[in-house]
Chains A and B, each alone.
Chain A
Amino acid sequence: MQSYIPLVPDSASTFSWRVDALYFYLSGVTLFFALLISAVLIFFVIRYRRRTPYEIPRPVAGSHKLETLWTVIPFVIAMTMFVWGAQIYFDQYKPPANAIEVYVVGKQWMWKLQHATGQREINELHIPVGRKIKLIMTSEDVIHDFFVPAFRTKADVVPGKYTTLWFEATTPGTYHLFCAEYCGMNHSGMTGSVIVMEPREFDNWLSGNTGSMTPATAGQQLYQTLGCASCHGANGEGGRGPTLAGAFGKMASLQSGQSVVVDEVYVRESILNPQAKIVAGFGPIMPTFQGQISEDQLMQLVAYIKSLQATGPPAAATAPSPTRNIK
């Protein structure tokens, strides 16, 4: 046990000091006003205590100037907190493009994680220091929340959709991982650790933990066994279904006239609910895979589709003829 009581948790990510700085600002303003109000109250309570039982003080008229003053000053102070907080928030929830991706599935009451290189972990996450890490997360059952106090960030892990969380660790060490959204019986047991390592150590750890397929490879096998290839082509070059190779990260025009970014969320939705957003020029012929694949497998499929490069035949060749539209 420590001999002193700390005021802030371990600081281990690039967000830590930024959130702490705002926290100290907020604490300073709070202490200032709480002490000011208390001091004035105590002073008044002593200075203006009732001295004789029947004394009546003179009534007082209000003051618009004072009211304006103590409306405007708190508002201005509040706005500084608002702008400062919003700035950091946008960085917290805007994952950078060049991050290392880790897939996270939460379930009652454990964390399952898989690195892009194939390593699987349960309730532990090994990451290198100084690299941006992006978690792509979903839940198999109820809402969970991936919370690392030392990184000063968290995000809900929601069934039925992907949420993301990113951070860049700055200090090697082992840090708490908590589930912060109440998730049932063993909620407080849904904890683990994030182990931040020096890059070389991390590489050793990675190479010492081979043996499982990368998510993309596993996804490729699923792609074949589930029969995706029959419509989307053996290598995602397209056919009766839209071209997948090279599509990830780009815009796709929809039948409805709108367009959508092909990201993890869209790919996931299209597998589970294919009729929701149909790519322009294609018919609503794809069956749903809802209930047939697990969240792990979905993530593998997403990883595979993400890995497909535009190497197939030119896009024009995959343009469907109207006869292919099956009503």
Chain B
Amino acid sequence: MKAIESFEVPVPPKVNYINAQYGLKSWLLTKDHKRIALLYLGSITFFFFIGGLYAMMIRLELLTPQGDLLQSTTYNKVFTQHGIIMIFFFLIPSIPATLGNFLIPMMIGAKDLAFPRINLLSWYIYLAGGVITIYALLAGGVDTGWTFYTPFSTTFSNSYVVATGLGIFINGFSSILTGLNFIVTIHTMRAPGMTWFRMPLFCWSLYATSLIFILGTPVIAITILLLAFERVARVGIFDPALGGDPILFQHLFWFYSHPAVYIMVLPSMGVVSELIANFSRKNIFGYGFVAFSSLAIAVFGFLVWGHHLFVSSQSVYAGMIFSFLSFAVAIPSAIKVFNWTATLYKSSISYDTPMLYALGFIGLFTVGGMTGLFLASLAVDVHLSDTYFVVAHFHYIMVGGALMGYLGGLHYWWPKISGRMYPEGWGRFSALVIFVGFNLTFLPQFVAGYLGMPRRYHAYPPEFQVFNVLSTAGASILGFGMLIPAIYFVWSMRYGKHAEANPWNLPGLEWRTASPPPTENFEVTPIVTWEAYEFAPPEETEVVGKFRPELERI
């Protein structure tokens, strides 16, 4: 009680970042990180909607074993475009470009990101990549799978491979610029007293994500460029008929695309750390371990790409090393899960919507992570490669993990972003519907996968139908659940209850300014004298058993 009461919350000013200026131009030329975050929010939501439509088409087609709804060429384009849109244009920018953009300066007590113009540029680059990709889809689409495996993509596919590749290539620069901006901002723009270890864990996770953006994205850019050289100019790089090596492409592709999985899930882990601590009013158990496990995941994530090549004719010894490293990279994730759980011990847990998403995340991410061990395990992976088990596994990470964290974070910070409250009852209801729908969609796919149902199949043997019917039923529930927040978020912008500056009673810096915040974020630059998640004075800290306290005042 005492700690919360002592927070100084300024009287909400009449002018905030939303109403400071009016007109389309004021948005399209804004350098305010919060407005840019909203530009991103609008655009990724648009792409999420398209990706979701593709998902529904896939699930409807797979309702029956025969390929009866779509032609096989159409189906191949639909699942390819579902992957490309969801990964490159929704999941990768999702949390960093929206919540990260909005919150990193606010969490560390800065007025903006280090390079506001570059921040705006990154959105325009994203938009350019998106427009080119949409053009490719409208012109005829692409059918290579989001993985673009050669020589199919370079020699055999008759679809818009180069145009789509160009869209992804350009979009990559937006990631690089965002990562650069975050790293410089976190290094140089922390408010007085905001030491590294006082930063919210969300900042740590986005710092780790930014490292991957900067180190990994150039590799996918180079790979796409080589692919285009071969497809357009017939330079022999990947196609053996031209003297190339098709497996080389897979190495290059996964060198980026495996770390890209961590780009998608690390920010979500950061959000969940915030939610768990703040909705249980407890400092995170093992702050340092959670922070450094993010960095460990970012670094070791670069060393495991070969686990996508266990059946590709890669050497068995390389396979063994990649298997070992893949098991090793699972450990930092396990550490996070245990620390989140331990945080809840003797805490004060609220059942608000963001917390429901956080709890759902922990459960689903545990399943997603542990089924990853099946695929890291060489012999089992030989059987499971390219089956629905893999599809289920990565959806548990990307939807059960990344998307749940994103939705949880969006609810949590919605009062700060919009100045309005979302309807709590509908929020809880939709979180529950999404959780049930998600599990019904993807749990059956684990079983279908072990039974041998291959992925990317337009038609399938009838014995797999029961699993596909369950999946499609689940997907309908999931899709319905997703529509609810889409509706009430828009509704709340006009009709929602006005949010207080600190509606959740929390100590974080972003809550010590108005909702929505002024353009400068803070009236005066804050001076930080407290630890992250300091709900009560540190003198009251409980030491577990005889263990040495880790929490020391700096």
Contact (Cβ within 8 A) B282 A60: yes
Q: Which B residues touch A61, using CB under 8 A?
A: 541-544, 547, 549-551
Q: Which of B225-233, B374-382, B417-425 contacts A (4 or more CB under 8 A)?
A: B374-382
**A71 to B331 Cα, complex, angstroms:** 7
Give Cα A58–Cα B346 distance, bound, in whole angstroms: 8
Residues of chain A lying within 8 A (CB to CB) of residue B345: 44, 48, 60
Residue of B nearest to A85 (CB): B377
In the docked arrangement, what's the CA distance between A50 and B151, Å? 58
CA distance A206 to B536 in the complex (A): 82
- Collect the chain B residues with CB atoms within 8 Å of residue A67's CB: 286, 289, 335, 339
Of B67, B359, B505, the contact of A41 (CB 8 Å cutoff) = B359
Question: Do A7 and B447 touch (CB < 8 A)?
Answer: yes
> Taking A56-B281, A149-B383, A180-B385 as contacts, is the C-beta distance between A70 and B346 under 8 angstroms?
no
Instruction: Note all chain B residues with C-beta closer than 8 A to A2.
Output: 463
Binds B, one of A185-193, A210-218, A248-256: A185-193
Near A by CB (< 8 A), chain B positions 527-554 give 534-536, 538, 540-545, 547-551
Query: CB of A181 within 8 A of chain B?
Result: yes
Question: Is B450 in the interface zone, CB < 8 Å from A?
Answer: yes
- Contact yes or no, A149 B330, CB < 8 A: no
The reply to whether B542 and A58 contact each other, CB–CB distance below 8 Å, is yes
Binary contact track B117-153/A, C-beta < 8 Å → 1, others 0: 0000000000000000000000000010101010110
Which residues of chain B come closer than 8 Å to A179, judged between CB atoms? Answer: 454
Query: Which chain A residues border B151 with CB–CB below 8 Å?
Result: 141-143, 159
The contact of B349 among A49, A143, A155, by CB within 8 Å, is A49
Decide if B542 touches A186 in the complex (CB within 8 Å): no
B56 within 8 A of A: no
Note all chain A residues with C-beta closer than 8 A to B359.
41, 45
Query: Given the complex, which residues of B lie within 8 Å of A63, measured CB to CB?
Result: 285-286, 544-545, 547-548, 550
Interface string of A91-104 (1 = CB under 8 A from B): 01110000000000
**Is B313 part of the contact surface with A, judged by Cβ < 8 Å?**
yes
The reply on B476 being an interface residue by CB < 8 A is no
The distance from the CB of B249 to the nearest CB of chain A, in whole angstroms, is 10
Q: State the CA gap A87–B286 with chains docked (Å).
A: 36
What separation, in Å, do the CA atoms of A18 and B286 have in the docked complex?
40
Interface contact B383-A187, CB-CB below 8 Å: no
Say yes or no for B280: interface residue by CB 8 A criterion: yes
A170-221 contacts to B (CB < 8 Å): 176, 178-189, 191
- Does B461 lie at the interface of the complex (its beta carbon under 8 Å from any beta carbon of A)? yes
Alpha-carbon separation in the docked complex, A75 to B326 (Å): 11
Q: Flag whether A153 is at the interface (Cβ < 8 A).
A: yes
Do A189 and B459 form a contact, CB below 8 Å, given A22-B379, A48-B346, A64-B547? yes
A153 and B382 in contact (CB under 8 A), knowing A70-B334, A82-B376?
A: yes
The size class of the interface chain B forms with chain A is 35 or more
> Could you say which of A23, A30, A188 contacts B458, with CB atoms under 8 Å apart?
A188
Within 8 A of B (CB), among A1-34: 1-2, 5-9, 15, 18-19, 22-23, 26, 29-30, 33-34
Q: How far is the CA of A168 from the CA of B425 in the complex (A)?
A: 59
Which chain B residues lie closer than 8 Å to A60 at the CB level?
Answer: 282-283, 285, 343, 345-346, 541-542, 544, 551
State whether the Cβ of B312 lies closer than 8 Å to any Cβ in chain A. Answer: yes
- By beta carbon, the residue of chain B nearest A2 is B463
Measured CA separation A44–B374 after assembly (Å): 29
Residues of chain B contacted by A178 (CB below 8 angstroms)? 452, 454
Given A59-B282, A188-B457, the answer on whether A182 and B366 have CB atoms closer than 8 Å is: no
Does B350 make an interface contact (CB < 8 A)?
yes
- Taking the nearest CB of chain B, how far is it from the CB of A220, in angstroms? 27
Q: Is the interface of A mostly helix, strand, loop or mixed?
A: mixed
Stretch among B92-100, B195-203, B240-248, B516-524 lining the A interface: B240-248
Please, what's the 1-or-0 string for B446-482, where 1 marks a CB less than 8 Å from any CB in chain A? 0100111011111111110010000000000000000
Which residue of A7, A18, A71, A78 contacts B373 across the interface (Cβ within 8 Å)? A78
Q: B541 touching A163 by the CB < 8 A rule?
A: no
Q: Measured between alpha carbons, how far is A139 from B343 in the docked complex, in Å?
A: 54
Q: Does B490 contact A (CB under 8 A)?
A: no
**A62 sits at the interface (CB 8 A):** yes
Give, as a whole number of angstroms, the nearest-CB distance from A10 to chain B: 9
A203 to chain B: closest CB distance in Å?
29
Contacts of B451 in A (CB 8 A): 6, 8-9, 149
A297 to chain B: closest CB distance in Å? 16
Q: How far is the CA of A154 from the CA of B4 in the complex (A)?
A: 60
Q: Does A110 interact with chain B (Cβ within 8 Å)? A: no
Chain A residues contacting B382 (CB-CB under 8 Å) are: 19, 89, 92-93, 152-154
- The yes or no answer to A147 lying at the interface (CB within 8 A) is yes
* Chain B 165-204 interface 0/1 with A at a Cβ cutoff of 8 Å (1 = within): 0000000000000000000000000000000000000000
Q: Which 6 A-B pairs have the closest CB atoms?
A: A160-B240, A149-B452, A88-B379, A89-B378, A85-B377, A61-B549
A-B contact pairs, 8 of them (CB 8 A): A34-B363, A49-B349, A55-B1, A57-B536, A79-B327, A154-B383, A187-B458, A188-B456
14 further A-B contacts with Cβ under 8 Å, apart from A41-B359, A159-B240, A161-B240, are A19-B382, A48-B349, A60-B346, A61-B551, A62-B285, A64-B548, A66-B286, A67-B335, A85-B380, A145-B385, A176-B452, A182-B145, A182-B456, A185-B72
